[in-house]
């Protein structure tokens, strides 16, 4: 910003030095505004200087920051309907300075209550003309307006608008970065955490676990998921995955975590007291297998599913490698899968899901 074009050459060098120092150290809106309000008092001779914020619906104006040094006090947090404010009247009338508030706006209750006689304001607008609020100075006495004071007010309003724009941009960038980070750690189909997120969480829990607690890792494989995809299409397959994920969410306790780690593979984490962790792991396996068993209504298709293969392991006391622990859970799941196929009453009973699936008759 070309400061010398905005402020007249009569501005004292000490004032410019203070302004440059303020701009150099300000990292937040408040850190910028509070020194500017003090400088604005010096430039205008007003007892009160303040910044207002107009809410997004343009209904309420609130005093965000204020500096008061004499009888007239404008409290921070003071709010009023936008239509009733002195700022709104000044902008509508294109009268940004007056030393006779009562003469021009006698119906403004806020100004009358505060005892304002002289009032000076400038709109704080974004690059697109959006009105953020106002920068104001006020006195309970008649005060003249110098060219320097007018220039300073305009410049400060521009500086505050630029900081607000910067803060909004940084907030948008932060939100976008958070969204990208969440996307990178989320499975697109089920909206569960993905493998990367799971391993990160396992590492965190293993590093922070207490000796009396144990981490349980349950590995779930939806047996014969491929025949469902082949027969009914990938849309139905995705719906089955999404429904299974919802069932997992409903059955998990606070602190448990479910993740999708592959095409038809899920993992659930749980923490239990070490003395009963083995029993809890078996119970968790049964609950997860039960959550995947039964009838699934997916668009125009009903699928009777015989349940997934679930293998659960308990982390040893000094276990620190999440991938090795996950591999152990995977091996436990495959052992269950082999056992189910070997002991099934019907050959390859889990494959029977394809035979027991049929279109819904409306």
- Please write the tens of the pLDDT for every residue from 118-142: 999 999 999 889 999 999 999 999 9
Residue 9 reports pLDDT greater than 90: no
- The structure tokens 């921070």 sit at 76
Task: Please give the pLDDT value at position 7.
Answer: 39
- The least confident of 101-110, 125-134, 157-166, 173-182 is 173-182
According to the model, what pLDDT value does residue 208 have?
Answer: 83
pLDDT tens digits, residue range 331-354?
A: 999 999 998 887 764 444 343 333
In this prediction, residues 240-258 reach a mean pLDDT of 94
- What residue ranges in the chain does DSSP mark as E strands? 48-54, 60-68, 79-81, 97-98, 118-125, 131-139, 213-221, 257-260, 265-273, 293-298, 301-306, 309-314, 357-359
Determine the average pLDDT of the residues in 51-75: 93
What's the Rg (C-alpha) of the chain? 34
Average pLDDT estimate for 187-202? 94
Half-sphere exposure (Cβ direction) of 284: Cα atoms closer than 13 Å: 30
Is pLDDT of 101 > 50? yes
**0.75 exceeded by pTM:** no
Confidence band, pLDDT 50/70/90 cuts, at residue 169: confident
Q: What is the pLDDT of residue 344?
A: 63
Q: Taking residues 95-108, what's their average pLDDT? A: 94
CATH of domain 3-182: 3.30.450.40
* C-alpha 91 chain-centroid distance: 35
Per-residue confidence (pLDDT) for residue 58, from 0 to 100: 86
Task: Supply the pLDDT for residue 15.
Answer: 60
pLDDT digits (tens, 9 = 90+) for 263-302: 999 999 999 999 999 999 999 999 999 999 999 999 888 9
267 and 326 Cβ atoms separated by less than 8 Å: yes
Is the pLDDT score of 48 beyond 60?
A: yes
Mean pLDDT of 196-223: 91
Q: Where does the pLDDT of residue 19 fall: very low under 50, low under 70, confident under 90, or very high at 90 and above?
A: low
Contact 153, 90 (CB under 8 A): no
What local confidence, expressed as pLDDT, does residue 143 receive?
94
306 - beta bridge partners? 293
Q: Give the neighbor-by-neighbor strand order of the sheet with 293-298.
A: 293-298, 301-306, 357-359
pLDDT over threshold 70, residue 358: no
> Does position 1 have pLDDT exceeding 50, yes or no?
no
Indicate the domain borders of the chain. 3-182, 195-359
d(CA 33, CA 11) in angstroms, rounded, equals 20
Instruction: Specify the CATH number for 195-359; select among 3.40.640.10, 3.40.50.300, 3.40.50.1000, 3.30.70.270.
Output: 3.30.70.270
pLDDT-based confidence at residue 8 (cuts at 50, 70, 90)? very low
Asked whether 223 and 348 are in contact (CB, 8 A), the reply is no
More confident residue, 68 or 356: 68
User: Of residues 171 and 310, which shows the higher confidence score?
Assistant: 310
Q: Is the model's pLDDT at 260 over the cut of 90?
A: yes
At residue 357 the predicted structure's pLDDT band, cuts being 50, 70 and 90, is very low
Positions marked active-site: 264
Quote the pLDDT of residue 362: 29
């Amino acid at each position: 910003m070309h400061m010398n074009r905005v402020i007249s050459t009569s501005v004292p060098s000490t004032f410019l030095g203070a302004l440059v120092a303020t701009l150099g150290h300000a990292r937040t809106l408040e850190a910028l505004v509070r020194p500017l309000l003090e400088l604005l008092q010096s430039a205008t001779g007003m007892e009160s200087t303040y910044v207002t914020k107009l809410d997004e619906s343009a209904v309420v104006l609130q005093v965000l920051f204020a500096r008061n040094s004499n009888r007239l006090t404008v409290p921070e947090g003071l709010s009023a309907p936008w239509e009733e404010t002195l700022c709104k009247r000044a902008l509508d009338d294109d009268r940004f300075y007056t030393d006779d508030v009562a003469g021009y706006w006698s119906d403004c209750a806020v100004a009358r209550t505060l005892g304002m006689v002289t009032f000076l304001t400038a709109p704080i607008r974004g690059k697109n003309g959006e009105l953020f609020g106002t920068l104001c100075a006020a006195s309970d006495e008649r005060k003249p307006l110098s060219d320097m004071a007018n220039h300073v007010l305009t410049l400060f309003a521009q500086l505050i608008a630029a900081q607000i724009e910067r803060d909004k941009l940084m907030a948008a960038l932060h939100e976008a970065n958070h969204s990208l980070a969440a996307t990178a750690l989320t499975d697109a189909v089920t909206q569960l955490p993905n493998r990367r997120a799971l391993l990160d969480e396992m590492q965190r829990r293993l590093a922070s676990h207490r000796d009396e607690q144990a981490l349980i890792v349950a590995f779930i494989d939806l047996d014969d998921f491929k025949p469902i995809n082949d027969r009914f299409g990938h849309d139905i397959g995705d719906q089955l995955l999404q429904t299974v994920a919802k069932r997992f969410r409903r059955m998990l306790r606070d602190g448990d975590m479910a993740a999708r780690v592959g095409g038809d593979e899920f993992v659930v984490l749980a923490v239990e007291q070490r003395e009963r962790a083995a029993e809890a792991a078996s119970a968790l396996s049964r609950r997860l297998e039960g959550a995947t068993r039964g009838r699934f209504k997916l668009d125009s298709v009903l699928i009777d599913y015989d349940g997934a293969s679930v293998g659960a392991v308990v982390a040893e006391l000094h276990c620190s490698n999440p991938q090795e622990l996950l591999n152990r859970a995977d091996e436990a799941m495959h052992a269950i899968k082999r056992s189910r196929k070997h002991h099934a009453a019907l050959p390859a009973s889990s494959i029977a899901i394809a035979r027991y699936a049929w279109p819904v008759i409306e």
